[in-house]
């Protein structure tokens, strides 16, 4: 069937929509935050966002920043001295907020900073004031952690709604970084808030220079953001970097028996866990089917509130 809108010029369709009540698509602004340090394994979180800033540099413009102030311990996050246009300049740790326009309906505000040493609550409140001033609709924090995974299988990725505070037996208990604090503060301030975590193979620092970002994890971050935002995010050149990194990782496995054995053990565990989950799920479904069959023998229908059991006044 032909879409009637194909015969309209964009301006004409906008007028048509206004006249007949179809609401124009709402512009969406999303704050995406990543922090250097503890939650940035393989530099994957911050460098994935730096990659997006470079990919959309034509529209990139700084909308705000947070000066170092009292948030940093300079013996931990040291200022650096650089040469700029023939002059020496000291650069202090600070937070930048840079907007990039993905399309007419979507803008991203990218927040990148060293993880503050002090006053996390105050820092998060300042971040969220900036978000509010720039009409941000939702907040996504991006983190990367070293984990038991391999480059030969999909990297584990967690993407959770920060408003869902339900604890499960699998819930993490332990120290947290500022991305978690920011996510919870965002919920308390009325924002939609999500947390993203990508696992980086624990042997990744042995594959390449430890100071180099991990392209595989970066690619996973950008891909996950694309899926959630329902938009294509440029990844120009990144797939080739991933391909080359995989080759180096494979070479490491061939020359280092300990790492090769580690990969084998991790993959075997993951495979067994997936198999167990599948079997458990299948067994549970079979039990439900058997239970329903048993109950139907007593005259129970799925639409009934309760099954007819022996002795029940409903049993005929």
Which pLDDT score is estimated for 4?
Answer: 34
Which pLDDT score is estimated for 122?
Answer: 96
pLDDT band, very low/low/confident/very high, at 108 (cuts 50, 70, 90): very high
pLDDT digits (tens, 9 = 90+) for 255-285: 999 999 999 999 988 888 777 766 665 565 6
* Distance set, CA 195 to CA 39, 87, 159, 163, 204 (Å): 12, 41, 6, 10, 23
pLDDT band, very low/low/confident/very high, at 296 (cuts 50, 70, 90): low
Mean pLDDT score across all residues of the chain: 85
Q: 116: closest CA among 177, 26, 203, 28?
A: 177
Say whether pLDDT at 291 is over 80: no
Angle, alpha carbons 228-135-110 (nearest 5°): 55
pLDDT digits (tens, 9 = 90+) for 217-239: 999 999 999 999 999 999 999 99
Which H helix or E strand runs over 295? helix 257-296
Which pLDDT score is estimated for 172?
Answer: 83
Which pLDDT score is estimated for 1?
Answer: 44
Say whether pLDDT at 136 is over 50: yes
Q: 304: closest CA among 290, 316, 293, 314?
A: 314
Are the beta carbons of 213 and 198 closer than 8 angstroms?
no
> 43-81 b/e with 16+ CB inside 10 Å = b?
bbbbbbbbbbbebbeeebeeebebebeebbeeeebeeee
**DSSP track, 40-106:** BGGGHHHHHHHHHHHHTTTT-EEEEEE--TTS--TTTS--EEEEETTEEEEE---EEEEEEEEETTE
Are the beta carbons of 87 and 40 closer than 8 angstroms?
no
Which pLDDT score is estimated for 13?
Answer: 37
Which pLDDT score is estimated for 10?
Answer: 44
Q: How far apart are alpha carbons 28 and 103 in whole angstroms? A: 10
pTM to 2 decimal places: 0.79
């Amino acid at each position: 069937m032909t879409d009637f809108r194909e015969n309209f010029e964009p301006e004409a369709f906008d007028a048509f929509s206004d006249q007949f009540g179809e609401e124009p698509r709402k512009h969406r602004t999303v704050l995406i935050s990543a922090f250097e340090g503890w939650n940035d394994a393989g530099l994957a979180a911050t460098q994935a966002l730096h990659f997006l800033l470079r990919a959309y540099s034509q529209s990139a413009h700084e909308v705000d920043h947070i000066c170092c102030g009292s948030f940093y311990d300079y013996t931990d996050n040291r200022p650096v001295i650089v040469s700029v246009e023939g002059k020496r300049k000291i650069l202090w740790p600070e937070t930048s907020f840079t907007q990039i326009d993905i399309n007419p309906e979507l803008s991203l505000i990218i927040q990148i900073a060293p993880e503050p040493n002090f006053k996390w609550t105050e820092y998060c409140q300042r971040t969220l004031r900036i978000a509010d001033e720039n009409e941000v609709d939702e907040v996504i924090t991006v983190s990367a952690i070293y984990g038991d995974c391999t480059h030969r299988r999909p990297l584990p990725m967690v993407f959770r709604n920060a408003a869902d505070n339900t604890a499960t037996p699998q819930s993490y208990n332990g120290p947290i970084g500022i991305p978690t604090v920011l996510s919870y503060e965002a919920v308390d301030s009325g924002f939609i808030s999500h947390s993203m975590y990508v696992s980086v193979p624990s042997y990744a620092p042995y594959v390449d220079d430890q100071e180099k970002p991990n392209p595989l994890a970066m690619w996973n971050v950008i891909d996950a953001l694309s899926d959630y935002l329902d938009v294509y995010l440029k990844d120009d050149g990144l797939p080739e970097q991933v391909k080359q990194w995989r080759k180096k990782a494979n070479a490491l496995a061939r020359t280092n028996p300990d790492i090769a054995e580690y990969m084998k053990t991790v993959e075997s565990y993951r495979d067994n866990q997936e198999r167990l989950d599948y079997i458990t799920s299948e067994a549970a479904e079979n039990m439900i089917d058997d239970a329903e069959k048993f109950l139907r023998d007593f005259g129970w229908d799925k639409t009934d509130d309760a099954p007819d059991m022996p002795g029940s006044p409903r049993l005929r």
